[in-house]
Amino acid sequence: MGEAATRGRKSIGAKRNPESADAIVEAAEAVLREAGYAGFSIEAVARRARAGKPTIYRWWPSKAALLIEVYQRQKRVETPDTGNVEDDLVGFLKNLFAHWRDTPSGNIFRSLVAEAQSDETAAAALAEYSKGRRSHTGLMIERARARGEVAADIDGAIVADLIASYAWRHLLTNRLDEHEATIRTAVRYVVRGIGPA
Amino acid sequence: MGEAATRGRKSIGAKRNPESADAIVEAAEAVLREAGYAGFSIEAVARRARAGKPTIYRWWPSKAALLIEVYQRQKRVETPDTGNVEDDLVGFLKNLFAHWRDTPSGNIFRSLVAEAQSDETAAAALAEYSKGRRSHTGLMIERARARGEVAADIDGAIVADLIASYAWRHLLTNRLDEHEATIRTAVRYVVRGIGPA
Amino acid sequence: MGEAATRGRKSIGAKRNPESADAIVEAAEAVLREAGYAGFSIEAVARRARAGKPTIYRWWPSKAALLIEVYQRQKRVETPDTGNVEDDLVGFLKNLFAHWRDTPSGNIFRSLVAEAQSDETAAAALAEYSKGRRSHTGLMIERARARGEVAADIDGAIVADLIASYAWRHLLTNRLDEHEATIRTAVRYVVRGIGPA
Amino acid sequence: MGEAATRGRKSIGAKRNPESADAIVEAAEAVLREAGYAGFSIEAVARRARAGKPTIYRWWPSKAALLIEVYQRQKRVETPDTGNVEDDLVGFLKNLFAHWRDTPSGNIFRSLVAEAQSDETAAAALAEYSKGRRSHTGLMIERARARGEVAADIDGAIVADLIASYAWRHLLTNRLDEHEATIRTAVRYVVRGIGPA
DNA sequence: TGCTAATCGAGACGGTACGTCTAGTCTTTTT
DNA sequence: AAAAAGACTAGACGTACCGTCTCGATTAGCA
């Protein structure tokens, strides 16, 4: 039966083999890039990575968990610091849209959101991840508040929510090529609304 | 066994049987209501509707097409007209969240958005639908502009986009139970930003 | 996805396709012949038959059921009628041993007995099959009784059991090449014991 | 979780721990007793014995080897000496059936026979073992011959073969609850056949 | 009125993927 | 130095759906 096991990559014993983990995440990314969310399956990843399915299930209990790890391996979007909150936010959205458009990240994140609609654990993982990101965007608001660009009683989390929502919807409705002018207008509506009276 | 849906359907002749079409759409809605997007499959719908799978495929070429029809059967959310744009928008969002929470609509729309991430036709249908809704929400802005609550050069579509994005994200991240105060705060940030100088 | 389905053999609709059934049983036989019981798996049969696994499971609920059908497709062993019970039984055993030795039948039956040790349904199926065969061997005893070779109060089923047991054990312990003299001796011990006083 | 078998075993050092070997064989026996051949796997035994799979593979190269060792640990069935060959053989079979029915022995031996159908080493071990048993049962025939109950030219090995075959088949087809009368009848057919003319 | 064509429920089909289980090999850790 | 422990590749298990196809029954409208 399985005489000729472990043909290519070797196990390194009782410790988790980082090569395998890498191979799996890389295979997952490749599958997503080439076949999209529709073609993304644990089987396909296992085939591609020359890994056993149980190895994947051992470390990533669900498709969502694997998707999240793949997403997090992507380079982060940089949040500019121009000294002006409108420019900061516009720059951030522009970078984010470009990143989502030009790397597999967009597809991955879309997949993750889709998965979260039918998978509890994906929803939980996504919520966890979003929490981290929200505070991150909230930072730009805090900097603006320190500069007096934003009123003292403004809730940064809610602003971040508005901005993130705007980004999500553009991703989910294939509008990542939005003109900068339109993005700037949207941002301005919010920025004006949260400015000092 | 023995679903309530159209047990004793009769006519199966040369003309399309509208009872069958109804039974299918109703079964689809029931499945979405009871099992959510995760349990939504053509097989499940066919079983529930006591219909053959080919009958479904004949009239709806994809899961997405069926989802779209189910969604369009849903009652629309009413847009209040309080004479004040903030109250209008808050009321609209509250109604929408309640509608999504308390009827199958939320599940259906979530499913449609998810499906659109891997299905072209769903994406197209969603885009088409969103266009209509945006103009519809834009109406509230136009009324506000007429009352002088909103500056003349404001782009209603972009405002509608911000509001709709906020709603989508709450749906997609299971936050339909958001407090009115939080919703009002978010709306106020936008409303203030678009008011007359 | 499954666009290019049904490449070779076609479905013939709502009725069971006999071509598929044949292909599956033939593939099962081929797998057994080439890989033996150890290599016999539903997956392997499905691959070989170009059939879907569910198609196999639809018609044969277990490995055992498929094995039995394969076994029954083999040509039957002829039961000689020489007018002498000893010669009848020796001839039958010789034929049976040869059949088991020279066709896949032996391997299949061995597999079936082995499977029955861990699978309830296999045990049941085997019992059912054996019942039919036992009465069949009992026939030789009845003929002998009619000729006065066997005492009137002899239980044919028990004699058949002794003979079948002898055959089984030779199969299961790889002694199908037993000399005719030895077989004849064993048969004679029984035949003498059941003769008229 | 938490099997009774060797929970607090300690020494896991450079010397082979005899406790481990014991624990493994005992676990194997327990698994066979509780789950039968169907549930008997190296994994299950390792889990039960709280041992690593390689530890088992190091000492028993195959499932069959482990089965053989487990079987050899079993108490032997006693062969009665009543002074009458029919009673001897009936008593032996009754004891054997009871032993197989009421201890794990039956399950173990069934498993071994089943395993031997696809594993060479098991087949060899079984053949070796059977040889020993045959001569053992043959003893009863020799005693009978000495008493003049059996003709001088009778081949004891063949008689033993017939009796063993009858036992095997009852084990393998779950008929260990056979009535004594039936067993006696079968034995009598053979005993009569081998008696002096 | 009788034929033809469309439609229906039903379900078989070849497939893909699921998530779990076991086989047997390999290496690290522990004693 | 060797046993224990656990990770690894590989692949079978039996189930759920996919989307396609054919069957046999049923009915409407044309001839």
For A126-157, write each residue's pLDDT tens digit.
Answer: 888 888 777 778 889 999 999 999 999 999 99
Chains B and D touch (3+ CB pairs under 8 A): no
Read off the DSSP letter of residue D179. -
Residue type, C127: A
Q: Is B152 exposed, middle or buried (0-12, 13-18, 19+ CB in 10 A)?
A: exposed
Q: What is the pLDDT of residue D32?
A: 92
Q: Is B134 exposed, middle or buried (0-12, 13-18, 19+ CB in 10 A)?
A: middle
Distance CA A79, CA A92 (A): 5
Q: Is D62 exposed, middle or buried (0-12, 13-18, 19+ CB in 10 A)?
A: middle
Distance CA D82, CA A10 (A): 64
> Are the C-beta atoms of residues C62 and C45 closer than 8 Å to each other?
no
Q: What is the pLDDT of residue B128?
A: 82
The CATH number of the domain covering residues in D3-59: 1.10.10.60
Nucleotide nearest to C40 (CA to C1'): F12
Read off the DSSP letter of residue B126. H
Shortest CB distance from D158 goes to which of C117, C173, C186? C186
**Which tokens is D94 given?**
């009754």
- Spanning CA of A65 to C1' of E6, the rounded length in angstroms is 49
Nucleotides of F under 7 A from a protein CB: 1-29
Tell me how many degrees the CA angle A99-A100-A101 measures, rounded to the nearest 5. 90
**Which tokens is A166 given?**
């705007």
Cα separations in angstroms, D154 against A119, C56, D195 = 75, 51, 9
> Are the C-beta atoms of residues D45 and D56 closer than 8 Å to each other?
yes
Distance CA C143, CA B94 (A): 91
State mean pLDDT over C169-174: 94
Provide Rg for chain C, Cα atoms.
20
Q: Count CB pairs under 8 A between chains C and D.
A: 119
State mean pLDDT over C88-105: 94
For B50-78, write each residue's pLDDT tens digit.
Answer: 999 999 999 998 898 999 899 888 888 88
Q: Strand ranges (DSSP E) for chain C?
A: none
Q: For A50-53, which contacts have Cβ atoms below 8 Å and span 24 or more sequence positions?
A: A50/A7, A50/A8, A50/A9, A50/A23, A51/A20, A51/A23, A51/A24, A51/A27
Residue of D nearest to C189 (CA): D193
Nucleotide nearest to D52 (CA to C1'): F5
Read off the DSSP letter of residue C82. -
| Segments of chain A with pLDDT less than 70 | 1-14, 16
Distance CA C135, CA C153 (A): 17
Distance CA D51, CA D20 (A): 7
Residue type, A194: I
Q: What is the 3-state secondary structure (H, E, C) of B85-102?
A: HHHHHHHHHHHHHHHHHH
Distance CA B133, CA C26 (A): 60
Q: Give chain A positions within 8 Å (CB) of B38.
A: 118-119
Shortest CB distance from D190 goes to which of C126, C127, C189? C189
Residue type, C114: A
Cα separations in angstroms, B3 against B8, B29, C124 = 11, 13, 36
Q: What is the pLDDT of residue B124?
A: 84
Cα dihedral A48, A49, A51, A52 sign: negative
Distance CA D100, CA D105 (A): 5
Distance CA A67, CA A25 (A): 9
> Are the C-beta atoms of residues A165 and A157 closer than 8 Å to each other?
no
**Which tokens is D44 given?**
């299950």
The CATH number of the domain covering residues in C78-192: 1.10.357.10
| Segments of chain D with pLDDT less than 50 | 1-12
Nucleotide nearest to B35 (CA to C1'): F16
Chains contacting C with at least 3 CB pairs below 8 Å? A, D
Cα separations in angstroms, C174 against C74, C161, D107, D113 = 20, 20, 21, 12
**Which tokens is D43 given?**
């994994």
b/e D127-161 (16+ beta carbons within 10 angstroms → b): eeebeeebeebbebbebbbeeebbeeebebbbbbb
Bigger pLDDT: B139 vs A44: A44
Q: Give chain A positions within 8 Å (CB) of C38.
A: 1
Q: Give chain A positions within 8 Å (CB) of B185.
A: 155, 158
> Are the C-beta atoms of residues B43 and B87 closer than 8 Å to each other?
no
Q: Is the pLDDT of residue B6 over 80?
A: no
Distance CA D9, CA D19 (A): 7
What is the pTM (predicted TM-score) of this model? 0.84
Residue type, D189: Y
Bigger pLDDT: A37 vs B9: A37
For B29-54, write each residue's pLDDT tens digit.
Answer: 999 999 999 999 999 999 999 999 99
Residue nearest to nucleotide F1 (CA to C1'): D14
Q: How far is B54 from chain A (nearest CA, A)?
A: 22
Q: How many CA atoms lie within 13 A of D189 on its CB side?
A: 28
- Spanning CA of D55 to C1' of F20, the rounded length in angstroms is 52
Bigger pLDDT: B19 vs B63: B63
> Are the C-beta atoms of residues A89 and B86 closer than 8 Å to each other?
no
Distance CA A71, CA A81 (A): 24
Q: What is the 3-state secondary structure (H, E, C) of C69-83?
A: HHHHHCCCCCCCCCC
> For chain C, how many helices (H) and strands (E)?
9, 0
Distance CA B180, CA B188 (A): 12
Range name among A177-191, B103-117, B132-146 with the lowest pLDDT average: B132-146
Neighbour count for residue A98 (Cβ, 10 Å)? 14
Q: Where are the domains of chain C?
A: 3-59, 78-192
- Spanning CA of C51 to C1' of E13, the rounded length in angstroms is 8
Shortest CB distance from C182 goes to which of D111, D113, D158? D158
Q: Helix or strand or coil: residue B51? A: coil
Neighbour count for residue C48 (Cβ, 10 Å)? 18
Distance CA B24, CA B51 (A): 7
State mean pLDDT over C127-138: 80
For C7-16, write each residue's pLDDT tens digit.
Answer: 357 666 677 7
Distance CA B39, CA C18 (A): 34
Hey, are the CB atoms on A155 and B185 less than 8 Å from each other?
Answer: yes
Residue of A nearest to B124 (CA): A173
